Copies of this chain bind each other. A is one copy, B any other.
Amino acid sequence: MELLEKRIQSDGIVKKGSVLKVDNFLNHQMDIALFNEMGKEFKRLFKDRPINKILTIEASGIGIACVAAQYFQAPVVFAKKAQSINIDGDVYSTRIESFTHKRVYDVMVSKKYLRPEDHILILDDFLANGCAVNGLIELIESAGATVEGIGIAIEKGWQIGGKTLREKGYQVESLAIVERMDEQTGEIFFRN
């Protein structure tokens, strides 16, 4: 998606350790006009899928998912990262390793909001090694629901997540795939 690639080129910052900072438009300050264009593109890419629910994970997937959901006329469910007294005990849960935060955390979704009859689109901001997405797939499969596709804002093309998921047969659509970043010059190269 050219609009997103241009924005990454102009506003993304390459940091040491393969970190791409996009926090001025994607995951701390959020450009909602851009999110709307991304939502339209996700709808175009998944238009043939019978999606009735969108699943994401807190926190930075929520904004993208909620704006995109308008084009699918579907509710959004977000996987929560810690036990809350406000959630019933009856949850699907799994453990996810975060590349960004260098730690492991538990995520969960109430069993009420993942049902066998659900056809689910997973949306998230980043796909790197795929731990978050694989965790969400595990939650969906625990419920006996169907994964219709996986929509990602930015995929790190040199990491294994996207390749592995596509090999398993999932429809993975990343709006921008970064092929390579140069930590010295700050240059960002996209996959065509």
Chain A 84-105 near chain B by CB (<8 Å), digits 1 or 0: 1111000000000000111000
How many copies of this protein are present in the complex? 2
Q: For the complex, give the distance between the alpha carbons of A67 and B62 in Å.
A: 11
Q: For the complex, give the distance between the alpha carbons of A23 and B24 in Å.
A: 29
Q: Does A66 contact B (CB under 8 A)?
A: yes
Kindly provide the distance from the CB of A71 to the nearest chain B CB, expressed in whole angstroms.
10
Name the one of B28, B67, B75 contacting A29, with C-beta atoms under 8 angstroms: B75
If A63-B62, A86-B23, A87-B23 touch, does A80 touch B33 (CB 8 Å cutoff)? no
Name the one of B36, B63, B81, B113 contacting A24, with C-beta atoms under 8 angstroms: B113
Q: For the complex, give the distance between the alpha carbons of A86 and B75 in Å.
A: 29
B100 touches A86 (CB 8 A): yes
Q: For the complex, give the distance between the alpha carbons of A156 and B7 in Å.
A: 41
If A58-B58, A113-B24 touch, does A32 touch B75 (CB 8 Å cutoff)? yes
Specify the chain B residue showing the minimal Cβ separation from A58.
Answer: B59
| Given contact pairs A30-B77, A85-B100, a sample of 7 additional A-B residue pairs in the complex whose CB atoms are under 8 Å apart | A23-B113, A28-B87, A29-B112, A32-B74, A59-B81, A63-B78, A85-B102
Show 7 residue pairs from A and B whose CB-CB distance is below 8 angstroms, ordered by the A residue.
A17-B85, A28-B110, A29-B76, A33-B73, A59-B78, A59-B81, A82-B101
